[in-house]
């Protein structure tokens, strides 16, 4: 789940969480269908979505964040790249924003 505080770092964008929309229990296909009716872009950390769904069939762009840890500290380091990806992604496209840092073993 994306930290809600991330929206403070992206004030130029209208950001809503899946939970705020009442979509927290939906699987990826249904989530994409609902999101594409209301939004231009879906920002997610779900690495599997781009492989499990036929993204070009949805009228929404997807920006996937790949970080070793979902704490805001790690995500904030990628804000410039996230901002650029959100601005340029088009419907049916997936843009991967990665930290380049390998995940840690817990």
User: Where exactly are the structural domains of the chain?
Assistant: 4-98
Q: How confident is the model at residue 69 (pLDDT cuts 50, 70, 90)?
A: confident
Tokens 């209301």 belong to residue: 38
Q: Is the pLDDT of residue 105 over 60?
A: no
What pLDDT score does 101 carry? Answer: 62
Tens-digit pLDDT profile for residues 24-65: 899 888 999 999 999 999 999 888 887 888 888 899 999 999
> What is d(CA 33, CA 60) in angstroms, rounded to the nearest whole number?
9
The model's pTM is 0.87
């Amino acid at each position: 789940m994306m930290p809600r505080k991330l929206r403070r770092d992206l004030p130029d964008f209208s950001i809503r969480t899946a939970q705020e929309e009442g979509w927290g229990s939906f699987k990826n296909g249904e989530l994409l269908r609902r999101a594409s009716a209301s939004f231009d872009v879906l920002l997610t950390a779900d690495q599997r979505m781009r492989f499990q769904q036929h993204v070009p069939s949805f009228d929404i762009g997807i920006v996937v964040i790949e970080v070793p840890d979902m704490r805001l500290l790690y995500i904030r380091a990628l804000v410039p790249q996230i901002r650029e990806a959100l601005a340029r992604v088009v419907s049916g496209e997936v843009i991967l924003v990665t930290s380049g840092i390998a995940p840690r073993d817990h």
